[in-house]
Structure 1
Amino acid sequence: MSHAVTTTELFLIAMAVIFAVPYLVWRLARTDYWAPLVVVQIIAGILLGPGVLGRAMPELHAAVFNPDVITALNGLAWWGVMLFVMIAGIELDVRQAWANRRETGVTAGLALGVPLAAGALVALGMLGLDGWIGPAGLPWQFVVGVGMACAVTALPILILFMEKLQILRAPMGQRILRYASLDDIAIWGVLALVLMDWERIGRQGAFLLAFGLACVAFRRLMRSIPAHDRWYVMLVWLAVCAFGADWAGLHFMVGAFLAGVVMDAEWFEQETMDLLRHHVLLVIMPVFFLSTGLRTSWDIGGSVVFLAAGALLVASVAGKLAGVHIAGRVLGWKSGEASIIGWLLQTKALIMIIFANILLDKRIITSETFTALLLMAVASTMLSIPVVAPKLRALGASTDARIDPAARTGLP
């Protein structure tokens, strides 16, 4: 008796592929040193997308990743990425950045401004060619958006990398966190500016006013309720803020970041928050990587996309290193510190991918630009640990320079 494959069965097949393929590659190929599991998952998403699997096996790709399955996967991906962005907002330590405001301001400003300018120059060159700017994008939005994508630092992935390098709790690690935290605030601020819809400015202003008033009540509520209740209230707050931002035209991920940044990390146990971040990465974010891969495109030619990705990578890495080296000279850092800090701050991965997804959703960039940015983010992230680990040893960081084998767990 024949059996028609249901949407539920196709969804479960897709879920099995999403989790099995990258894990087996990561485990069997032992890629952890140069490509952590999170990077392998991103690459797997690209390979399972229409540009690779869709071209090699179009019928299989269309059958498994049909519109109903993609809709279900997108729902999981949206919630996972909102949780992830909210946690990133909670982990920002603005008070430490303010306490060391001169050093943090100089370093964060140069580490963000120089690669932004370099990426914007590449974006200006892309504007002169067909196929890169989206149908709803204005030239200034495209240039600033692509430039900022080159300047992004992925704070959550940076934390994971510094844990592997055993410098997270060291003085240098805490300095790097301050620089990345300040840049994260600037990144989301610039994104909100790029997404500002002047035709809906009244609605966006109403959202920001309502959000400000709600924050006062929310913070009072969180201080007054038991610690275990805060986790549930946090999730309701996340959904409400994300809805409000999306309704206003700012995108739900901007709302998720705002939901997190107004919360104090002290309201939650640090160990439990770390576990939540790890579990979101383990259980839900691989679905986001797959849904990201399904949005890649090579329609204007694979070689052209790779050339654009290479130009963006050079602008990103060289700009970040130049900015941090200038900061090191101004602030009188020890020899070798600027190189280590610069290479770690150019880690992009998730936050850049989230950033680029928003630009694609708003049709400021095309799928081809999105693919080039995604390739740039993967390459820059894969360079970090292999470059930094020997530099730490050369700096004489003692035990801080070693990569702890015990840190190579099954978590991404």
Structure 2
Amino acid sequence: MAIIFAVPYAVWRVCRTDYWAPLVVVQIIAGILLGPGVLGKAVPEFHATVFTADVITALNGIAWWAVMLFVMIAGIELDVRKAWHNRRETGVTAGLALGLPLAAGAVVAMGMLGFDGWIGSQGLPWQFVVGVGMACAVTALPILILFMEKLEILRAPMGQRILRYASLDDIAIWGVLALVLMDWERIGRQVAFLVAFGLACIVFRKLMRAVPMRDRWYVMLVWLAICAFGADWAGLHFMVGAFLAGVVMDAEWFEQEAMDLLRHHVLLVVMPVFFLSTGLRTSWDVGGSAVFFAAAALLVASVAGKLLGVRIAGRLLGWRPGEASIIGWLLQTKALIMIIFANILLDKRIITSETFTALLLMAVASTMLTIPMVTPKLRTPGALRTDAADPAGRLRQP
């Protein structure tokens, strides 16, 4: 635990990496470096002494709870009502921002299928292609919020628009994941879970409205554990249950400042353990150069697909020059949600550790590009000028 918290913080603070690698990114990179592929190869005796089987089991337990909390908060922060109110603009932008990088990533995944060592033992080709493609299309809503706070645009009109696009993509991401994880041999359990979840939501929402504010936090945690367990029992994975637990809750049930503090504290106190446990799952067995080549191909597919999709949306909706570039790069933020997504694919043996490592490197590089690419663009005069939308959904200058 001392290593987990001391090493990334020291690098972040001493090297002043915040502009190109915020602390959360440094923690992810530290997890990779402390894993078996780097530290384990350099000093195997030390690695084996520190990261024993019992230690890894304990760390995994903390990591699972941390990521369940984080995914639930991401679900709570989704505001589907705002997306629906601006449905044409949001639907066009979110659809293109998700669809083009997904298609580009799927093309790379099909190429990877031609070589051994990338598809998992339980994965079908279509699951691998769709899973890797979706990993290229993911936008990490919670990290996007942190980045926009840092850039001081979260409450600006453009920031609120970007949140709508990312929210709709977040729903699509978890929907596709549920489809990929659908076990047709256990379909009865999964249908039973979804029916039970729907009925339980009715009771849960009435209960949350009835109880005092101070009790909602405790009820929320019990609800999270039950939903995660039910999804895992059905074969959908506990993180799908955690997202569903959050998405059916209204943000208005909690004080916004308190929810923001909870998200920050989860990132501070327990998520670093998840980053390390993620790094411990990396592998370079197919060869370091092959992993880096796959990561580079996936990065190109992710970045080019996202930027092209948002640029097409900007043309269709009549955005001002420069808007599409800012929005495209901010939606490029992947980090946590992509890593969580890839962890699930690895748990279900749809991908191998080598594919997981390539996706992890892609997510880190993609996220590190965001702040350096966006900051100069925001300094352009009029970059954050207020936008308005007419009833047809086409943006006009006020």
**Structure 2 residue corresponding to 1:346, chosen from 329, 332, 350:** 332
**Structure 1 residue corresponding to 2:303, chosen from 282, 297, 317:** 317
Question: Does the CA-based 8 Å contact 2:156-2:384 persist in structure 1?
Answer: no
**Structure 2 residue corresponding to 1:145, chosen from 118, 122, 131:** 131
- TM-fit CA distance, 1:236: 0.2
1:334 is the counterpart of 2:320: yes
- TM-fit CA distance, 1:398: 7.0
* Counterpart mapping for 1:254-403 below 5 A: 254-397=240-383
* Counterpart mapping for 1:163-202 below 5 A: 163-202=149-188
Residue 244 of structure 2 aligns to which amino acid in structure 1?
Answer: L
- TM-fit CA distance, 1:394: 1.7
Residue of structure 2 equivalent to 1:6:
none
1:230 is the counterpart of 2:230: no
* Counterpart mapping for 1:113-132 below 5 A: 113-132=99-118
Question: Does the CA-based 8 Å contact 2:323-2:383 persist in structure 1?
Answer: no
Q: Distance in 2 between matches of 1:396 and 1:180?
A: 23
Question: Does the CA-based 8 Å contact 1:245-1:254 persist in structure 2?
Answer: yes
Secondary structure (helix, strand or coil) at the match of 1:394 reads coil
- TM-fit CA distance, 1:396: 3.2
Question: Does the CA-based 8 Å contact 1:131-1:300 persist in structure 2?
Answer: yes
Secondary structure (helix, strand or coil) at the match of 1:263 reads coil
- Percent sequence identity over matched residues? 87
Residue of structure 2 equivalent to 1:101:
87
Question: Does the CA-based 8 Å contact 1:144-1:194 persist in structure 2?
Answer: yes
1:89 is the counterpart of 2:75: yes
Q: Distance in 2 between matches of 1:21 and 1:52?
A: 15
Question: Does the CA-based 8 Å contact 1:119-1:147 persist in structure 2?
Answer: yes
Residue 144 of structure 1 aligns to which amino acid in structure 2?
Answer: V
Residue by residue over 1:354-391, the C-alpha shift from the partner in whole angstroms, topping out at 9 and shown as x without a partner, is 00000000000000000000000000000000000001
Instruction: Please tell me the root mean square deviation across aligned C-alpha atoms, in Å.
Output: 1.0
Q: Distance in 1 between matches of 2:324 and 2:99?
A: 16
Q: Distance in 1 between matches of 2:326 and 2:354?
A: 32
Residue of structure 1 equivalent to 2:395:
none
Q: Distance in 1 between matches of 2:382 and 2:88?
A: 27
Residue of structure 1 equivalent to 2:196:
210
Residue of structure 1 equivalent to 2:392:
none
Q: Distance in 1 between matches of 2:326 and 2:371?
A: 10
Q: Distance in 1 between matches of 2:102 and 2:220?
A: 33
Residue 136 of structure 1 aligns to which amino acid in structure 2?
Answer: Q
Q: Distance in 1 between matches of 2:48 and 2:181?
A: 33
Residue of structure 2 equivalent to 1:80:
66
Residue 152 of structure 1 aligns to which amino acid in structure 2?
Answer: V
Q: Alignment length, in residue pairs? A: 386
Secondary structure (helix, strand or coil) at the match of 2:110 reads helix
Residue by residue over 1:204-251, the C-alpha shift from the partner in whole angstroms, topping out at 9 and shown as x without a partner, is 000000000000000000000000000000000000000000000000
**Structure 1 residue corresponding to 2:43, chosen from 45, 57, 67:** 57
> Where has structure 1 moved over 2 Å in runs of 4 or more?
395-400
Q: Distance in 2 between matches of 1:30 and 1:271?
A: 28
Q: Distance in 1 between matches of 2:45 and 2:184?
A: 43
Question: Does the CA-based 8 Å contact 1:166-1:399 persist in structure 2?
Answer: no
Secondary structure (helix, strand or coil) at the match of 2:153 reads coil
Residue 61 of structure 2 aligns to which amino acid in structure 1?
Answer: G
Q: Distance in 1 between matches of 2:57 and 2:291?
A: 27
Question: Does the CA-based 8 Å contact 1:245-1:252 persist in structure 2?
Answer: yes
Q: Distance in 1 between matches of 2:68 and 2:210?
A: 25
Q: Distance in 2 between matches of 1:395 and 1:142?
A: 44
Residue of structure 2 equivalent to 1:22:
8
Change (3 A) 1:71 1:362: same
- TM-fit CA distance, 1:139: 0.1
Q: Distance in 2 between matches of 1:344 and 1:149?
A: 16
Residue by residue over 1:118-172, the C-alpha shift from the partner in whole angstroms, topping out at 9 and shown as x without a partner, is 0000000000000000000000000000000000000000000000111000000
Residue by residue over 1:263-286, the C-alpha shift from the partner in whole angstroms, topping out at 9 and shown as x without a partner, is 000000000000000000000000
Secondary structure (helix, strand or coil) at the match of 2:224 reads helix
Residue of structure 2 equivalent to 1:9:
none
Secondary structure (helix, strand or coil) at the match of 1:365 reads coil
- TM-fit CA distance, 1:397: 3.7
Question: Does the CA-based 8 Å contact 1:297-1:368 persist in structure 2?
Answer: yes
Residue by residue over 1:326-375, the C-alpha shift from the partner in whole angstroms, topping out at 9 and shown as x without a partner, is 00000000000000000000110000000000000000000000000000
- Structure 1 residue runs of 5 or longer lacking an equivalent are 1-14, 401-412
Secondary structure (helix, strand or coil) at the match of 2:379 reads helix
Q: Distance in 2 between matches of 1:67 and 1:339?
A: 46
- TM-fit CA distance, 1:393: 0.8
Question: Does the CA-based 8 Å contact 1:161-1:385 persist in structure 2?
Answer: yes
Q: Distance in 2 between matches of 1:304 and 1:137?
A: 20
- Structure 2 residue runs of 5 or longer lacking an equivalent are 387-398
Secondary structure (helix, strand or coil) at the match of 1:132 reads coil
